[in-house]
Amino acid sequence: MSRQGTSYGMALRAAAALSFSLMYALMKWAATVEPVSAGEMVFYRSIFGLPVVLFWVLSNGGGLAVISTRRPMVHVWRCVLGVTGILLIFQGLRLLPLADATTIGFTAPIFATLLSIVFLKEKVGRHRWTAVVLGFVGVLVLVRPGSEGAPPLGGLLFALGGAFVAASVTVTLRQLGKTEKATAIVFWFFVACALTGGALALFDGHSHTWPVLAVLAAGGLAGGLAQLLMTTSLQHAPVSALAPLDYLQMVGAVVLGWLLLGDAPTGATLIGAALIAGSGLYTAWRERVLRREITPPAPNASV
C-alpha cells in the first residue's frame, strides 16, 4: 500500500471513529428526552443504517453474489452473538454516562486476548499480558468500587457484558473472514439487527415525537456511515496503522457527552480511559513490531 493510500485510509478510519461517537451520542440524547429501549436503539441503528450498507454492497458490483455465503450457520451464530452484544452495549449506554460506556467498550480487546488463548490456542507473551493487566487496572479505576459517585453497577455490568460478547464476535470473525466476504458479513448482521430490534420494539417500544425520531434516524445513519468508512479504510491501509485511530471514539464521547448531554468527565473516567487506551495501543504496537495484523480494537466493528 502506498503512503498516500495509507494516509487516506487513516483519514477514513478517524472519520469512522467520530461517526460512531456521534451515533452513540445521538442515541443517548434521545433516551434522555423520551424513554427509548435498547431494542429500539438497535432497530433504529439498523433500519436507518441499512440503506448506507446496501449502497456500499451494491457499489461493490457482483449483484447478490457479494452477500452469498457458504457457511450460513456460522453467520447465524455470529449474528446471535452480535445482536446480543449490541443490546448489552445499548443497555449500558442507557444507564451510564456516554464517556464511561464508550470507555468500557474498549475493554473488548482485553477479553479477545483471553478468548484467543482458549479458542484459537494463541500463545500470549509477557507484553500482551502486561497490556491485559494494564487494561483491567483501567477498568478498576473507572469503576472505583465502593466509592461515592461510582457509575451504577447495573450499567457497568451491561457494558462489560457487551464488551465480552464483542470480543467473542472478534474471535468468530477471525474464522469467518477466511472464507466470507466483508459485504456478506456486514449485510446479514444489519438484517439480523433490524429484525430482532423490530421484534423487541413491538413489545418494549414507545411512541416518539418527530424531533426525537429525527435524532434516532440520524443516529442510525451515523452508524451506517461509520460502518462504511471503517470497512473502506481497510482497503487503503494496514490494520496496524488504523487500530490506534479507533481510540478517537473516546475523545468524541468525552466532547459530545459534555456538549450535548452536560456530562463533564470525572478524573476517574479520564485516568481509566487513558489506561485502557494505553493497553490497546501497547498491544497494537507490539503486534506491529512482530509484523502481524490484528483485529481493530473498536467494539463497534465486532458487534
- Can you give the pLDDT at residue 62? 65
- Can you give the pLDDT at residue 232? 84
Find all residues with CB under 8 Å of 157, minimum gap 6, and list them: none
Q: 174-178, 257-261, 278-282: lowest mean pLDDT where?
A: 174-178
- Can you give the pLDDT at residue 2? 55
Cα–Cα distance, 288 to 280 (Å, whole number): 12
296 falls in which pLDDT band (50, 70, 90)?
A: very low
pLDDT in tens, 63-99: 677 888 888 898 899 999 999 999 999 999 999 999 9
Residue 36 pLDDT > 80, yes or no? yes
Higher pLDDT, 139 or 127: 139
Find all residues with CB under 8 Å of 282, minimum gap 6, and list them: 127, 130, 131, 134
The string of DSSP letters for 172-236 reads HHHHHTTTS-HHHHHHHHHHHHHHHHHHHHHHH-----HHHHHHHHHHHHHHHHHHHHHHHHTTT
pLDDT in tens, 38-67: 999 999 999 999 998 888 888 877 667 788
- Can you give the pLDDT at residue 282? 79
Average pLDDT over residues 99-120: 83
Domain parsing of the chain, residue ranges:
3-301
- Can you give the pLDDT at residue 295? 47
Residue 253 pLDDT > 60, yes or no? yes
